[in-house]
Amino acid sequence: MGVLRIGHASLKVMDMAAAVQHYEKVLGLKTTMQDKAGNVYLKCWDEWDKYSLILTPSDQAGLNHIAYKVEKDADLDTLRERIEAWGVKTEMLPEGSLPATGRMLQFRLPSGHEMRLYAMKEFVGTEVGSTNPDPWPDGLKGAGAHWLDHALLMCELNPETGVNTVADNTRFMTEALDFFLTEQVLVGPNGDMQAATWMARTTTPHDIAFVGGPRSGLHHIAYFLDSWHDVLKAADVMAKNKVRIDVAPTRHGITRGETIYFFDPSGNRNETFAGLGYLAQRDRPVTTWTEDMLGSGIFYHTGDLVPSFTEVYT
């Protein structure tokens, strides 16, 4: 029962043609449909539902909403009761509010980000099928991303006023949605303030993450690749296509992931992420990073923080 995995991200983009070219040519996604409002829906080759990314025309970049898929439609009613008992207002959007998708439970996290839960989305299958499949399809473009892996949301954190929506979100996700904590960064005079958390429902190091900042927003959406070699190839693809790279290929201490960060044409940050890191389980000890080792936690090789990594987001 409950949340299975990340389902899709809905992003605002300022130049639809440039955005579609980026996600198709650089990351290797495939457009599956476009609606009358001009929204474009895309999926990765190893995903079986109709889309995992929605691009919507806008005059600014950023996140519309993040959505997670639940196991059964009845779970939406159960989770609605838990969410509202927690003190968060919800709205049940009818089937068809998004194309090819069943009813959706809509609400806002304590940080203000819109989240949706749904149980049904049209099944279209992976590009290699499910009977005697090849390991990868012919005609892959760009980085050949397998699937949308996770999202990292920036959350308002102000120690002077006591506002800490990282901690609020973490508690909400644990108590209302049954996520579990895998890693955290603790800061402050007593070393007990949650400045960042990584949370899971699956067996990967994180299905969602929260990091403190001056305002709430989107830090990045991440796409899974097989290996370090694929991360390097993705960097080559980005260089060939003159993509704005934020952080060149490196390793995280946190999650142990192999990574590269870059921006789509509107300024939304993307990540290509490889390496499962470790087996995330509810009884696995939570990994804690202290404030003095934050640099190594984020960029393990150098231990140096890149200013744009925490200061620039949509």
- Where does the pLDDT of residue 310 fall: very low under 50, low under 70, confident under 90, or very high at 90 and above? confident
Residue 140 lies in a domain: no
Do 102 and 175 sit in the same domain of this protein?
A: no
Q: How many separate domains does the chain show? A: 2
Same domain as 275, residue 181: yes
Residue 125 is assigned to a structural domain of this protein: no
CATH of the domain at 233: 3.10.180.10
Q: Per DSSP, what are the bridge partners of residue 117?
A: 68, 105
Q: Is residue 188 located within the same domain as residue 88?
A: no
Question: How confident is the model over 160-168, as a mean pLDDT?
Answer: 93
More confident residue, 274 or 1: 274
| pLDDT score at 206 | 96
Label residue 295 by pLDDT band (50, 70, 90): confident
Residues 160, 72, single domain; the answer is: no
Q: What is the pLDDT of residue 305?
A: 83
193-200/180-187 β-pairing: antiparallel
Do 112 and 160 lie in one domain? The reply is: no
124: in domain: no
Establish if 131 belongs to a structural domain: no
> Same domain, yes or no, for 102 and 179?
no
pLDDT interval class at 1 (50, 70, 90)? confident
Of the chain, the end-to-end C-alpha distance in Å amounts to 33
Residue 198 resides in a domain:
yes
One-letter identity of residue 290: T
End-of-domain residue from the set 80, 102, 118: 118
The residues that are catalytic are 150, 206, 220, 252, 261, 271
Same domain, 171 and 56: no
Span 158-176, average pLDDT: 94
Q: How far apart are CA 207 and CA 68, in angstroms?
A: 9
Domain of residue 246, residue span: 148-311
Based on the domain organization, do 81 and 207 belong to the same domain?
no
Distance, in Å, from the CA atom of 178 to the CA atom of 115, rounded to the nearest integer, reads 15
Is the pTM above the cut of 0.85?
yes
